[in-house]
Amino acid sequence: MASDTKIPANPSFGSKLRAYFALTKPRVIELLLIATVPTMILAANGIPSLWLIFATLIGGSLSAGSANAFNCYIDSDIDKVMGRTKNRPLVTGELTQTEAYRFAWALAIISTLWFGLLINWLSAALSVAAILFYVFVYTLGLKRRTPQNIVWGGAAGAMPALIGWAAVTNEVSAAAWVLFLIVFLWTPPHYWPLSMRYLEDYRDAGVPMLPVVAKNEIVGRQIILYAWAYFAASLLLIPIASMGLIYIVVAVISGLWFAIESHRLYAEARTSIPKNPMKLFHLSITHLTLLFLAIAVDPLIHL
């Protein structure tokens, strides 16, 4: 971890606020919350109270923001090296290490109390588990040591499915675990194309992402395997949660589409460096959004 960086003289309140906001990685939070509301609708078999949805989204944002702030604090040395992270507030000096550390802790405490006092203590416990897993298992334990880092790190990103379900039912059922599995298996074929695109950044930073330590063909093959496993998990939800025709059609068609695109990336990776791996990265976001949109709509218009 780097020492405190000198911040610009007399930063404005607005610039400081924006720096704290950036520390939470809001685009990552947005992606994580894609799973939350559909999960809550499926758990309630209808629309939960708007207050409960709002409270869960706020708590989830605070929890994820805490995990991401801790991540920025721990990885500030890496962020200095990588082109896509060089404008984060700890690198630019907009925030100091001390400020980031205190902010991360504040969000962790507030999110835990928010979930516990306003929703239920099961969702609070799951929120704490997500933070601890992301910080200690992924960031401190796996990220700099193994190319399987993002595979197991995906468990933290899948926690919103469990938290959303617990917020509605105060329990975690088999369907909730299938939703967790869907997001967990989605993470590698989502993140590895990004790692292929920023291969040199990760290599310079000494982070052993799979594309850094393995040939493109091997990475492409792993992406295919996880894409099909992700597809299978999405189909598993059909009998477990008694999903209807809307979800079945979306899951089958979009799942096959995503799998086919992963095969195309693999075919290119076998003979050369993929020219546009980010295509599959962006497609993975679109696919997850469509799948969870179907999860939300299916209980409301059950065919």
pLDDT tens profile 211-269: 999 999 999 999 999 999 999 999 999 999 999 999 999 999 999 999 999 999 999 99
Predicted confidence (pLDDT) at residue 23 exceeds the cutoff of 70: yes
Question: Cα 13 to chain center, whole Å?
Answer: 30
CATH class of 173-303: mainly alpha
* Helix ranges (DSSP H) in 9-148: 13-23, 26-33, 36-44, 50-74, 76-81, 89-92, 97-118, 121-132
Please give the Cα distance from 212 to 148 (Å, whole number): 12
Q: CA 40, CA 58: separation in Å to the nearest integer? A: 14
pLDDT at 197 over 50: yes
Structure confidence at residue 27 as a pLDDT band (50, 70, 90): confident
More confident: 288 or 14:
288
Return the pLDDT at 10: 67
Least confident of 44-48, 203-207, 254-258: 203-207
Between residues 173 and 28, the one the model is more confident about: 173
Taking the domains of the chain in order of start, what are their residue ranges? 19-172, 173-303
Is the domain covering 19-172 a CATH 1.10.357.140 domain? yes
Question: Which pLDDT score is estimated for 19?
Answer: 92
Q: Does position 7 have pLDDT exceeding 80, yes or no? A: no
Contacts 24+ apart (CB under 8 A), 31-34: 31/285, 31/288, 32/60, 32/64, 32/157, 32/160, 33/57, 33/60, 33/61, 33/64, 33/160, 34/288, 34/289, 34/292
CA contacts within 13 A on the Cβ side of 211: 24
Confidence at residue 175, expressed as pLDDT on a 0 to 100 scale: 97
The structure tokens listed for 42 are 């499926």
| pLDDT recorded at residue 2 | 43
What distance separates the 2 farthest-apart alpha carbons in the chain? 61
* Dist. CA 63–CA 109, nearest whole Å: 9
At residue 1 the predicted structure's pLDDT band, cuts being 50, 70 and 90, is: very low
Instruction: Give the rounded percent of residues in the chain with a pLDDT score beyond 90.
Output: 82
Provide the pLDDT confidence category of residue 303 given band limits of 50, 70 and 90.
Answer: confident
Instruction: Say if residues 33 and 61 touch (Cβ distance below 8 Å).
Output: yes
Predicted confidence (pLDDT) per residue in 108-141, tens digit: 999 999 999 999 999 999 999 999 999 999 999 9
Alpha-carbon span 140 to 263, nearest angstrom: 33
Res 9: pLDDT: 56
Q: Of all residues in the chain, what percent are helix, strand and coil, respectively (each to 5)?
A: 80, 0, 20
pLDDT band at 5 (very low <50, low <70, confident <90, very high): very low
pLDDT of 83 reads: 85
Residue bearing the bigger pLDDT, 2 or 152: 152
Q: What is the DSSP letter of 206?
A: T
pLDDT at 8: 52
Band (29; pLDDT cuts 50, 70, 90): confident
Tokens of 149: 């880092």
What does pLDDT average to over the chain? 92
Q: Say yes or no to pLDDT of 176 above 70.
A: yes
